[in-house]
Structure 1
Amino acid sequence: MKLLLTSAGVNNQSIQNALVGMLDKPIADSNALCIPTAMYGHPWVGPGVKTWEFISGKSENPMVNLGWKSVGVLELTALPSISRDHWEPLVRETDVLLVSGGDALFLYHWMRQSGLAELLPSLKAVYVGMSAGSMVMAPKIGKYFVGWTSPTGGDETLGLVDFAIFPHLDHVMLPDNTMGAAESWVAEIQGPAYAIDDQTAIKVIDGAVEVVSEGNWRHFTL
């Protein structure tokens, strides 16, 4: 499984180079599916214009607008009400999944409900997450990031990587996302983690982890 876990999309050349290397072919020859589901669970970004901007490639966070051969939409909340035969072949054949930010617990819930979660480990596609789309891969997100309340009431997520992610480190619009806040968050989750800014991504290929950055980040090894 190939994961490119970003804070705010493919924001610089280093992250884009990593993506192209993982695809093993040019972006212009690759087919993508974008997944906006996490946005609906977060009051800042959805539903509404922000969701449309992500899907249409007009977002300020480079994901959909990188020059893909084709881009489709995979809305996880719709999948439980249609035949799996209508969407699973499409997911298995695509080159890349582009997963938006928003609410990580809402995304986790619908990944499980839709059946996508069980497919992820076997997919050939490169998974590119942004913010919540990256955080959902962790064992848990920590109480600091809990917004939408899951049916279980917890903060558990997929656990497809063994570390948690604190995104948007030192972001000008998120003054609480400091390194000190990240340290307190790590002390609460009691596990390995990365704090990353919007110029940083974490590349994971078959369990091997590499940080790709033109910015600031920190690895916590509690």
Structure 2
Amino acid sequence: MKLLLTSGGITNPSISRALVGMLGRPIAESSALCIPTAQWGHPGREPVSVPDLLRGRAWGGTTSLGWKSLGVLELTALPTIGAEHWVPWVREADVLLVAGGEATYLSHWVRESGLADLIPRLVDTVWVGVSAGSMVMTPRIGPAFVGWPSAPDDCTLGVVDFSIFPHLDVFPENTLAAAERWSAGIDGPAYALDDQSAVTVDDGVVEVVSEGRWTLLDPGA
């Protein structure tokens, strides 16, 4: 699977070009599935959050880019309908648009739904994460980002070997100093990204795409 791990979505031409490059075709010729599941686990979300996401009003407007087709894949529903029903949907999609919200809740449902087992076989599919949708692919998110009361710890899927501190400078509390304190409790490297920055992972190669501010934090260096 190819990963485009953003903080705020497709927010500038550089990130948009990275997405098209990973797809290997124009967005207008690509099919997408939106995964809103992380929204339900965030204590600050309300019932209007998911409709706003699907209308393209959420950060980055990933659902309003002009996809050839756009569907919704709600992970909490998948265990009740059978893999034979939904796995073909995922295999046929060019991109999974994974919304922000609560990363440990999303991690739980990626596993419970069976999607985690499918990910290693989705070689050409692009995973576009926004905030928690990006953080879920990392090993840990740090206790400060855990908002789901049932989360056993701050561990997530560990598809990549680095962590992500999103929304650098977007909120008053998301300062570089705060990111440095957060990274001190994370094992391994981490990227602090503002909403104009993203990390791409393609065939094992990790690159930062940015028209803003980002920092590599490595407490082990």
TM range (shorter): over 0.9
For structure 2, which runs of at least 5 residues remain unmatched after alignment? Answer: none
1:207 CA drift (Å): 1.7
What is aligned with 2:146? Answer: 146
Q: How does 1:8-157 map to 2 (within 5 A)?
A: 8-46=8-46, 48-123=47-122, 124-150=124-150, 153-157=152-156
Indicate the larger mover: 188-197 or 68-77.
188-197
Residue of structure 1 equivalent to 2:178: 181
Q: Could you tell me which residue of structure 2 aligns to residue 165 of structure 1?
A: 164
CA–CA distance in structure 1, aligned partners of residues 131 and 59 of structure 2:
14
Deviating beyond 6 angstroms after TM superposition, the runs of 4 or more aligned structure 1 residues are: none
CA contact (8 A) 1:166 1:194 kept: yes
CA–CA distance in structure 1, aligned partners of residues 61 and 100 of structure 2: 12
For 1:44-99, what per-residue CA distance to the aligned partner results, in whole angstroms no more than 9, with x for missing partners?
234x1111111232334220000100000000000011111110011011000000
Give me the identity figure in percent.
61
SS of match in other structure, 1:154 = coil
CA-to-partner distance for each residue in 1:2-42, whole Å, 9 max, x for gaps? 00000011000000000000000000000000000000011
RMSD over aligned Cα atoms: 1.1
SS at match of 1:25: coil
CA distance in 2, matches of 1:61, 1:208: 24
Counterparts of 1:190 and 1:97 in 2: how far apart (Å)? Answer: 28
Amino acid at match of 2:104: L
Deviations 1:121-151 (A, max 9, x none): 2112100000000000001111111110345
Q: Classify the secondary structure of the residue corresponding to 1:14.
A: helix
Selected match of 1:200 from 191, 197, 206: 197
CA distance change for structure 1 residues 60 and 219 in 2, over 3 Å: closer, same or farther? closer
- 2 CA distance for matches of 1:62 and 1:55? 9
TM-score relative to the length of structure 1: 0.95
CA contact (8 A) 2:9 2:59 kept: no
Structure 1: give runs of 5+ residues left out of the alignment: none
Q: Deviations for 1:156-178, whole angstroms, at most 9, x for unmatched residues? A: 1100000000000011xx21111
Cα separation, 2, equivalents of 1:190 and 1:158:
15
Letter in 2 for 1:203: T
Q: Does the CA contact (< 8 Å) of 1:131 and 1:167 recur in 2?
A: yes
CA contact (8 A) 1:109 1:150 kept: no
CA distance in 1, matches of 2:59, 2:210: 19
Give the whole-Å Cα distance in 1 for the aligned partners of 2:141 and 2:28: 34
The answer to whether the 8 Å contact 2:135/2:164 transfers is yes
